[in-house]
Structure 1
Amino acid sequence: MTDKANKQFVNEFIPRVSRTFALAIKFLPMELRHPVFTAYLLCRVADTIEDSPHIQPDDKRIRLMHLNKLLLSAADGAKTSPNDLTPLYQGINPEHGHDHRLLVESLKLFDVLAELPDEKRKIIYHWAGEMAFGMAEFSQITARHDNQIVAIDNVAQWDRYCYYVAGTVGHMLTELFISEYRFDTNAADGMLRLCDSFGLGLQKVNTIKDVPGDMARGVVFLPKDIMTKYSLTPDLLSDIKYEAPLTDFVRELTEMSGHHLDDAIEYTTFIPERLKGVRMFLAVPVLLARATLNLINKFPVQTMVGPAVKISHADVARLTAMAKLHSPSNAALKKYYSKLKARSPS
């Protein structure tokens, strides 16, 4: 594939597989946009294998471990052949959706990756491989047992799951930023210290707001030890009769998630103020996540029982505008984030 064809392949897939990511990534400077686009699509390949209803749990684990080995080998310089990729998408119908089409056409994606600078390519392969390994570990949780809802065992496992799904992305992006801009030691150390928490914050918000949809698939990515604290079980999360314990349960989860979002704002302040596009790329999802937590706190029972809570298109536009206004300044960004956080019902 030519460089032009590479970029066209990547650019065409992004809006098809994620509107939210497409919204944020357009703010990245050109020197980062293509590598981050490509990295995101590689992570999406792993995510598609994990989420696909057309792949059985045991087969998901096999495919994800195969992807992990491919990526680790690629990070060490090995070339990827078409035969190497066939086990990832064998038996998958590309007509099942854009995600599945991306999986089937993953050879094109590896061709794109092969054209990236060595340092960036190795960063992407390493962290995407780590993600695939972790998703393989948790793939069995999607298998329903005796028609009961399956959940994460405890908070430590919740953290571990969110690390593999999103903390790895935080590490990947941080290393890509450092590779591109060669930040000073203070900035680089601060970002590396907080990047895991940044990813956990965004993913934990997702695991809370996505409960109604996940319940329909027989799984909840929330910790059972916190449920037990409020005399709840995974199966009771959809029962409106348990309004008081559901409210307390959700409020505890949102408080924990909010601390990670606090870290995400601090992380953003380590990006030099001259890099307005990078700061905007980071600020938009954090503000959207904080606003979503506010909505979850306002409607905790609905968040569990359904229909799923979701911030409006008007709020997305408003928060994006606020990010554009405030993200260039550390003081302004912190002030606006604190104001937004204070709006959350207690």
Structure 2
Amino acid sequence: MSDERYQSHILKGVSRTFALTIPQLSSNLYKVVSNAYLLCRIADTIEDEPNLTPNQKRQFSQTFIKVVAGEERPETLSQALHPLLSDSTLVAEKDLIFNMPRVIRLYNSFTPRQRASLYRCVHIMAKGMAEFQQNSSLEGLKTLSEMDSYCYHVAGVVGEMLTDLFCDYSPEIAQHQVELQTLAVSFGQALQMTNILKDIWEDYQRGVCWLPRDVFAEMGFDLKKLSPGQYDPAFGDGLGALIGIAHSHLQNALRYTLLIPPSEKGIRRFCLWALGMAILTLRRINRRRDFCKAQEIKISRRSVKATILVSNLTTGSNTSLRLLFYLLTRDFVVL
């Protein structure tokens, strides 16, 4: 199997969502964006592995940054890391770590500008995740500002990287680069906030919480009292406040998407599918704020198919997309 075929194969194993959205991109973007996602997934796998100590995670993350920079051999890191992965890590993620050299060989085949964008993203993400993971606890983050910073390091920087790649691909898109880069961080935060809210209880089981204490304190809830199955209306109010904040970021995500020329249907679909699935997930959370596990608010395959169909039908119409966004998010609490 060639490195490129392996990349397409493993993408389906490590992400259901991105295995759907990334193939919508043109062939010129598909290869590099797939590689970018896998690089980010390697960094994420290191940080999520429960068998690794905080110090080991930091060391492996630093080594991975050097691997992408060409300063360390991927084979050495792969051989050291793979045996330490526990059953908590997906089989596909273990396979990705084992085949890290394949991913790096493809990365090295890209243009200098593409490699620079990917390296910047990996560097910021891996370094930031290591710092946040080392200080994580069940008490949550101190402030909304800290949550913003966390979202930037794990998602906002990905939006910046994708924007660099889109602008490098299309001179027409590049005309809006400054505004796109500003909105890209917000787009990333919308998606990451959705994941944080969806995964509250799964994160709780792992001993971490990414919710901001100050937002919940304003609603009269102390995150130290967070416990699955013991719903407090004040906690629900805190969720509502965060959904309202996510709504403003979703609006920016729509603005970002509408700046992409309608002729670039692949990129628009890539953005719209992610945006649509985030909106549907937040709608379910908003209606079931007392949920106890992600499975209870997970959107169905039927909903995913409907999102894809509607997005495809409205891809080229800014007016239709604005109306659809309003109809789907009008029940959200807006602060």
The runs of 5 or more residues in structure 2 that have no matched partner are none
For 2:178, the equivalent position in structure 1 comes to 189
Which residue number corresponds to residue 155 of structure 2?
166
C-alpha spacing 1:110/1:185, structure 2 compared with 1 (3 Å)? closer
* Residues 313-333 of structure 1 deviation map (CA, whole Å, 9 limit, x = unaligned): 111111111111112222221
Corresponding residue to 1:313 among 268, 277, 301: 301
Counterpart residue number, 1:154: 143
Structure 1 residue aligned with 2:266: 277
The answer as to 2:93 corresponding to 1:99 is yes
CA contact (8 A) 2:78 2:99 kept: no
Q: CA deviation at 1:186?
A: 4.4
- In structure 2, distance between residues paired with 1:260 and 1:93: 35
Q: Is the 8 A contact 1:167 1:198 kept in 2?
A: yes
State the distance in 2 between where 1:317 and 1:264 align: 21
The alpha-carbon deviation at position 83 of structure 1 amounts to 5.9
Q: Verify: 1:50 aligned to 2:47, yes or no.
A: yes
Deviation at 1:283, TM superposition (A): 0.4
Question: How far, CA to CA, are the matches of 1:154 and 1:113 in structure 2?
Answer: 37
- Determine whether 1:287 maps to 2:296: no
- Shift of the alpha carbon at 1:205? 0.7
User: Given residue 133 of structure 2, which amino acid in structure 1 is its aligned partner?
Assistant: S
State whether residues 298 and 344 of structure 1, in contact with CA within 8 Å, keep that contact through their aligned partners in structure 2.
no
Shift in Å, 1:69: 3.9
| Partner residue in 2 for 1:81 | 73
Please say if residues 202 and 293 of structure 2, whose CA atoms lie closer than 8 Å, have aligned partners that are also in contact: no
* Counterpart-to-counterpart distance in 2, 1:197 and 1:88: 36
1:184/1:18 CA distance change after superposition, 3 Å: closer
Alpha-carbon offset, residue 22 of structure 1: 0.6
Q: CA, structure 1 residues 87+132, in 2 after alignment: closer, same or farther (shift >3 Å)?
A: farther
Structure-2 residue corresponding to 1:231:
220
Question: Which residue is equivalent to 2:314?
Answer: 326
Task: State how far apart, in whole Å, the 1-side matches of 2:39 and 2:299 are.
Answer: 28
Change over 3 Å in CA distance of 1:229–1:80 after alignment to 2: same
1:11 aligns with 2:11: no
Gaps of 5+ in 1: none
Give the share of equivalent positions with the same residue, in percent.
31
Higher mean displacement: 150-159 or 91-100: 91-100
Equivalenced residue count is: 332
Equivalent position amino acid for 1:11 in 2: S
CA–CA distance in 1 between the matches of 2:186 and 2:260?
16
What CA distance in whole angstroms lies between the structure 2 residues aligned with 1:216 and 1:23?
A: 29
> Residue 335 of structure 1: which of 291, 305, 323 is its match?
323
Q: Which amino acid aligns with 2:236?
A: T
- Once residues 122 and 295 of structure 2 are traced to their aligned partners in structure 1, the CA distance between those partners, rounded to angstroms, is 33
Q: Pick from 107, 111, 121: which aligns with 2:115?
A: 121
1:211 aligns with 2:200: yes
Does the Cα contact within 8 Å between 1:261 and 1:286 map onto a contact in 2?
Answer: yes
| 1:84/1:254 CA distance change after superposition, 3 Å | same
Q: Is the 8 A contact 2:243 2:333 kept in 1?
A: no
Match of 1:291, SS state, is helix
CA distance in 2, matches of 1:40, 1:91: 23
How much is the aligned-residue C-alpha RMSD, in angstroms? 2.2
Q: Which letter does structure 2 place at the counterpart of 1:107? A: P
Alpha carbons of 1:305 and 1:184: their partners in 2 closer, same or farther (altered >3 Å)? Answer: closer
The residue identity in structure 2 corresponding to 1:289 is: A
Q: Is the 8 A contact 1:238 1:305 kept in 2?
A: no
Tell me, in whole angstroms, the C-alpha distance in 1 between the residues paired with 2:103 and 2:17.
21
Distance 1:85 1:59 in 2: 12
Whether contact under 8 Å (1:94, 1:101) holds in the other structure is no
TM-score, normalised to structure 2, is 0.92
Structure 2 distance, partners of 1:306, 1:114, is 38
Asked whether 1:199 is paired with 2:191, we answer no
> SS of 2:290's equivalent?
helix
Q: Residues 233 and 65 from structure 1, CA distance in 2 versus in 1: closer, same or farther, beyond 3 angstroms? A: farther
The DSSP-based 3-state class of the residue aligned with 2:275 is: helix
Whole-Å separation in 1 of the counterparts to 2:74 and 2:42: 15
- Give the 3 Å change call, closer, same or farther, for CA 262–66 of structure 1 in structure 2: same
Match of 2:26 in 1: 29
